[in-house]
Amino acid sequence: MLNQTVVIVGAGHAGAELAHALRKEGFEGRVVLACDEPHFPYQKPPLSKDYLKGGGGEPLLLKAEALYEKMGIELKLGARVAEIDRDDRSVRFEDGESLGYDHLVLATGARNRRPPVPGLDDPAVMELRGLDHCRTILSRTPELEHVAVVGAGFIGLEMAAFLREKGKVVDVVEMADRVMARAVSETVSDWFLALHLRMGTKVHLNTGVTGVRHEGAGALVDLSDGGSLKAGAVLLAAGVVPNVEIARQAGLEVADGIVVDEMLLTADPAISAIGDCAFFPSAYTGGSVRLESVQNANDQARAVARRLTGNPAPYTNLPWFWSNQGPARLQIAGLSTGYDEAVLRGLPADDKFSVFLYRQGRLVAVESVNAPGDHMAARRIIERGVPVPPEAATDLSTDLKALAKG
Ligand SMILES: Cc1cc2nc3c(=O)[nH]c(=O)nc-3n(C[C@H](O)[C@H](O)[C@H](O)COP(=O)(O)OP(=O)(O)OC[C@H]3O[C@@H](n4cnc5c(N)ncnc54)[C@H](O)[C@@H]3O)c2cc1C
């Protein structure tokens, strides 16, 4: 299908990477990259990190503007796909325009989850997913004294650290009994909780937000423990939900994301799904997962580009992730789902350590705090299935880099 038409819906990390990867793989047909956002495709992680700290300006682009024209990629910005017509093999945009495809790739990403809490539509409530959100936060930050962050996941905590560095009073409210509970081991949760407390953030664990009430220029945030917080703004960071609506409406199977097989194909051989919106069989857990990471978006895009240019292979890339919170860098290699043993390499008290996580004796994930060398080695070790018994992992004289190479 080297000279057919590929339409990509969503120009985030996955969509933009796919468009360019198709050209690199020799695809000569038409490539249309359509996105509802009006901005040139930009990088999202800096929105809670360097872009925010730098005070805004132009975002870091995913690819230089000139490359789209040079690579013959038709970019349709501010163009929301409202419907897929699978019989006709076309998509219909919100403005009524239709566009035919030979292959359609859904790279629609995710949006912030809005828990069923009264008052979340109050103007004091902010969120962070895209550039416009980030610009709103930046424009409001100077006037704020106190911010309540709902959710102690990666983004909630990155934002809490940023706001503390700006001298704001910060309360983080989290339903779970520890921070980043869905994603990291207890040791890493505990270390980051201590870090945020040291930075002066108040963290309310085992606590839900039951309502937001407008008050003056800000809001009163009601908590499940009966208390309430008076804040100039509320930052909603309670996780995301995948953008699956157009897939569902087209009759494609949807679970925690658009269901695809190990080739990242839906049940319709003319439609693939990649990135934050895709629910795919993981080579590392034995079940299907949906991941929210730049690595996943990029690697799935490249896998689909190879398939569409005649080199199909099951998607098996090792997941990895990072998060910067204040002075700390967390890096995760692998997926810890169902781990039954955790051992430490280095000491949390030294602010530099890794947690090696095993499932039935097999190393499945490594979480590294301020230990980039461990992380890089762990990625190769897990990918290659190099055996590293727990005793060897904890022994600092074990040369992980050498093991990774071997
Ligand atoms: C603030 C922030 C910080 C992050 N930090 C990290 C980090 O440190 N490390 C990391 O690995 N990951 C991080 N992530 C996650 C990472 O950015 C996502 O995993 C990645 O963006 C997923 O790429 P994607 O292309 O699947 O989705 P997205 O980047 O969300 O792009 C999807 C695009 O599709 C558009 N779209 C949706 N529906 C339609 C439609 N019907 N028609 C047209 N367009 C549509 C959306 O508006 C969006 O522009 C962060 C995310 C955020 C928001």
Do 149 and 235 meet the contact criterion of CB atoms below 8 Å apart?
A: yes
The residue written with tokens 């989850």 in the block is 113
Ligand 1 centre to CA of 143 (Å) is: 28
Ligand 1 centre to CA of 389 (Å) is: 36
Q: Which ranges of 200-283 would DSSP assign to H, the alpha helix?
A: 245-249
Residue ranges of the chain whose pLDDT lies below 50: none
Ligand 1 atom closest to the CA of 41, numbered from 1: 49
Do 86 and 268 meet the contact criterion of CB atoms below 8 Å apart?
A: yes
Q: What kind of architecture, by CATH, is found in domain 327-404?
A: 2-Layer Sandwich (3.30)
Q: Which residues line ligand 1 (CB under 6 A)?
A: 9-10, 12-15, 34-37, 44-45, 47-48, 80-81, 107-110, 128-129, 155, 243, 246, 275-276, 292-295, 297, 321-323
Q: Where are the domains of the chain?
A: 5-111+241-308, 125-238, 327-404
Closest CA to 258 of 47, 61, 107, 88: 107
At residue 1, the pLDDT reads 65
Under 8 Å CB-to-CB from 385, ≥6 apart: which residues?
A: none
Digit-coded pLDDT (tens) for 141-179: 999 999 999 999 999 999 999 999 999 999 999 999 999
From 3.50.50.60, 1.10.357.140, 3.40.190.10, 3.40.50.800, which CATH number describes the 5-111+241-308 domain? 3.50.50.60
Tokens of 353: 């350590």
Digit-coded pLDDT (tens) for 28-54: 999 999 999 999 999 999 999 999 999
At residue 194, the pLDDT reads 98
Q: Please name the fold of domain 125-238.
A: FAD/NAD(P)-binding domain (3.50.50)
Under 8 Å CB-to-CB from 42, ≥6 apart: which residues?
A: 59, 60, 61, 62, 131
Atom 2 of ligand 1, nearest CA residue: 45
Is residue 65 classed exposed, middle or buried when 0-12, 13-18 and 19+ CB atoms within 10 A define those classes?
exposed
Dihedral sign, Cα of residue 316, residue 318, residue 10, residue 250: positive
At residue 245, the pLDDT reads 98
- Where do the DSSP E strands lie in 107-166? 110-112, 125-127, 146-150
At residue 339, the pLDDT reads 96
Beta bridge mates, 375: none
